[in-house]
Structure 1
């Protein structure tokens, strides 16, 4: 019980806390759609054109963002569009991490698989993960369309302008950032799938 002190709280307090978090999440999602919607629509046009031209989408991130990268790839693939999550191949990710260095696990995959006309979509709550930043830099070097999702002010992803299309969620809460990012990338997938065929 010491690891989970909230389990001893009054159920009414837990309910009120959950309702407050749900309201905060909804307000943030509506805000990012309102503020970032036009930029997301412009991004969707470029991504759809790349995929129509034979390009593929490569999504990547760490931890919870790697799960989001899998969700992105699943959304695009379910719509009949070519997409891969670079975090899915555990053997390759751990081999590169062990043999070369964890900071290159996405850049190396993009160097081997990506090229001009492809799309690199990076997810990071901090905008500062070294392997995500290296992946974006490699994607830009290869002439790929680069899309970044970050939070907390955008971190180095924003400072170094590593993504041609950058969507920064204005929050410092990892939970709220990932919830808002999920709304944005789901909307992006819908917009792209409507335009890419």
Structure 2
């Protein structure tokens, strides 16, 4: 669902020239959004705290065996995938660097695959070519229904990788794949707002990363 700027920020389109009223509306809107993401984060933790710990333990075991993280997603989710990979590779001096890559960062491979074999294969092909059983596939999709993300996860599952998914809404097709056993750990951000979903997903992968570090004995 595409929302207009006016529907998101109606106070900017009210035609009011009262600056004090406008600032009050901005402050109220900001506070409402902060409350909304806070509630969503608490809801996700309440539903999935034990599974997050189990997922982090499984990820740490893969890293200990020499595995790598392969992260992927589309659009804003691709930037989150890049952020996860960067966090692993360059975590700062107090933490253990971990091998990771963001598949969408390889523009030459991505565009070649999109042009030659179809955009639905841009994540599946690299996973099939380079994925190893000790690796981890971390996929992000706000809708849970991105075809290329689902294909990437399916191939990762076939190759024996640990599969981790982050989705929004009610999980979409990723929830169906998880029910079939094709995604080992799926974390759903139950919201219809893409903004809140992505904010909650950011929190989720940071929590997973820190739990992995602690499972590995850092700090």
TM-score, normalised by the number of residues in structure 1 = 0.94
Which of 112, 132, 141 pairs up with 2:129?
Answer: 112
Structure 2: tracts of 5 or more residues without a match = 15-21
For residue 87 of structure 1, give the secondary structure of its aligned residue in structure 2. Answer: helix
Q: Does 1:195 align with 2:215?
A: yes
Computed over aligned residues only, the root mean square deviation of the Cα atoms, in angstroms, reads 1.4
Rg larger in structure: 2
User: 2:28: which partner in 1?
Assistant: 16
Flag as ranges the 4+ runs of structure 1 deviating above 4 A: 3-6
Q: Using the TM superposition, give the Cα deviation of residue 11 of structure 1 relative to its aligned residue in structure 2, in angstroms.
A: 2.3
Aligned length: 195
- The C-alpha deviation readout for 1:52-92, integer Å capped at 9, x for no partner, is 00110100000110011011111211240111111111121
Q: Using the TM superposition, give the Cα deviation of residue 97 of structure 1 relative to its aligned residue in structure 2, in angstroms.
A: 0.7
User: 2:62: which partner in 1?
Assistant: 50
User: 2:18: which partner in 1?
Assistant: none
Q: Distance in 1 between matches of 2:120 and 2:138?
A: 17
Q: Distance in 2 between matches of 1:102 and 1:4?
A: 29
TM-score, normalised by the number of residues in structure 2 = 0.85
User: 2:152: which partner in 1?
Assistant: 135
Whether contact under 8 Å (1:81, 1:193) holds in the other structure is no
Which of 93, 100, 103 pairs up with 2:117?
Answer: 100
Which of 55, 62, 65 pairs up with 2:74?
Answer: 62
144-153 or 3-12: which moved more? 3-12
For residue 105 of structure 2, give the secondary structure of its aligned residue in structure 1. Answer: coil
Q: Distance in 2 between matches of 1:43 and 1:4?
A: 37
For residue 37 of structure 1, give the secondary structure of its aligned residue in structure 2. Answer: helix
Structure 1: tracts of 5 or more residues without a match = none
